[in-house]
Amino acid sequence: MIPIRDTIRSETYPVVNSSIIVVSVLVFLVELSQGQSLDGFIKIYGLVPARYSIPQISAYFTTGQQFLSFLTFMFLHGGFLHLLGNMWFLYIFGDNVEDRLGPFRYLVFYLLCGLASGISHLVINWHSVIPTIGASGAIAGVMGAYFILYPRAKVLTLVPIFIFFQFIELPAFLFLGIWFLFQFLSAAGASAQAGGIAWWAHIGGFVFGIVFLKLFEFLPESGASRKIRKMTRKRTTPRLQVIRPAGLGTDPDLYGLVSITEREALFGTRKLINIPEGFKKRTFFLTIPQGVSEGSKLRLKGLGRQTPEGLQGDLYLKVQIRG
């Protein structure tokens, strides 16, 4: 399953989440520049359990290198697809968690999730000589937090069905629950000494993400973080809006909500409206005139339901202005 987008809009620009993505890409470029020295680079900055469990191996590394690898391993990746997959999941789920925690708490939260995932992998694979790299564990922590914060959000998902691919909107708790179950089953069936994906790091990151979220919600947000929130607050609503209108009984007219900001209400705006209808979708552009106010109603003629007599109802969209 590949997530395409979620339906929860973050109210601020995710400066920390975006910075993590940029840093991860830059570190990957550094990896590509290593050439023949890449294996040694990965062994130094990746997380290798045997470096901590076998004295003959740990003697080759300084104390600083031993501690540093718990941070650096989560910014390394084993290839372009590894990087792309991780950063895409972080892009989908990370902005909303940062929006809830604030930039500073989110940064500490992300790093702690990565650290916890690394320790989980270390304990389960105590004598493994295979380096573990990647942001998967930290991102799993972000997904665990999302699971608690936004269980009813919808995740537009690309699902392979036999040889076909279908776009399906899944509740976040179902998407993330299936993802976690897959990690657990894969971890249970994998050898502790096998190479490849660090399943237990994913599981540890997800579980500790939930735990850390509960702890961080008790910590007050700093004044500097609140200032950054004000500076990064979004001034527009999403250009693409999914609307699920409802009707009253046999009334052919449909009613829904369209969200805009105060700035968009003042100057007017244009939105791409998507109305799901089973496996089909209706998509059209909506022009919102300038000067609309909270509660204004926009009538879209002929976009309602059709009666048995062949009459076509209208669609009424009520304007909701976000502060």
- Say whether pLDDT at 192 is over 50: no
- Say whether pLDDT at 194 is over 60: no
Q: What is the mean pLDDT of the chain?
A: 87
**pLDDT per residue over 95-131, tens digit each?**
999 999 999 999 999 999 999 999 988 988 888 888 8
Q: Where are the alpha helices (DSSP H) in the chain?
A: 15-32, 38-45, 50-53, 55-58, 63-72, 80-101, 103-124, 136-149, 172-189, 199-216, 223-232, 262-267
Q: In angstroms, what is the C-alpha Rg of the chain? A: 24
- Say whether pLDDT at 191 is over 60: no
- 217 and 257 together in one domain: no
- 273 and 183 together in one domain: no
* Domain C-terminal end among 216, 232, 248: 232
User: Is the pLDDT higher at 258 or at 310?
Assistant: 258
Residues 6+ apart with CB under 8 A from 210: 144, 145, 147, 148
Task: Domain of residue 179: give its range.
Answer: 2-232
Gap between the Cα atoms of 176 and 147, Å rounded: 7
- 202 and 76 together in one domain: yes
Q: Which of 127, 124, 130 is nearest to 194 (CA)?
A: 130
Gap between the Cα atoms of 151 and 67, Å rounded: 36
- Say whether pLDDT at 151 is over 50: yes
**Helix, strand or coil for residue 254?**
strand
- 104 and 218 together in one domain: yes
Q: What percent of the chain has pLDDT over 90?
A: 46
Could you tell me the pTM of the whole model?
0.79
Is-contact 246 255, C-beta < 8 A? yes
pLDDT of 107: 95
Q: What share of the chain is helix, strand, coil (3-state, %, to 5)?
A: 50, 20, 30
Mean pLDDT on 44-48: 92
What is the CA 152 to chain-centroid distance, rounded? 15
- 150 and 245 together in one domain: no
* Domain C-terminal end among 203, 232, 261: 232
* Domain C-terminal end among 182, 200, 232: 232
Q: How many folded domains does the chain comprise?
A: 2
Confidence of residue 316 (pLDDT cuts 50, 70, 90): very high
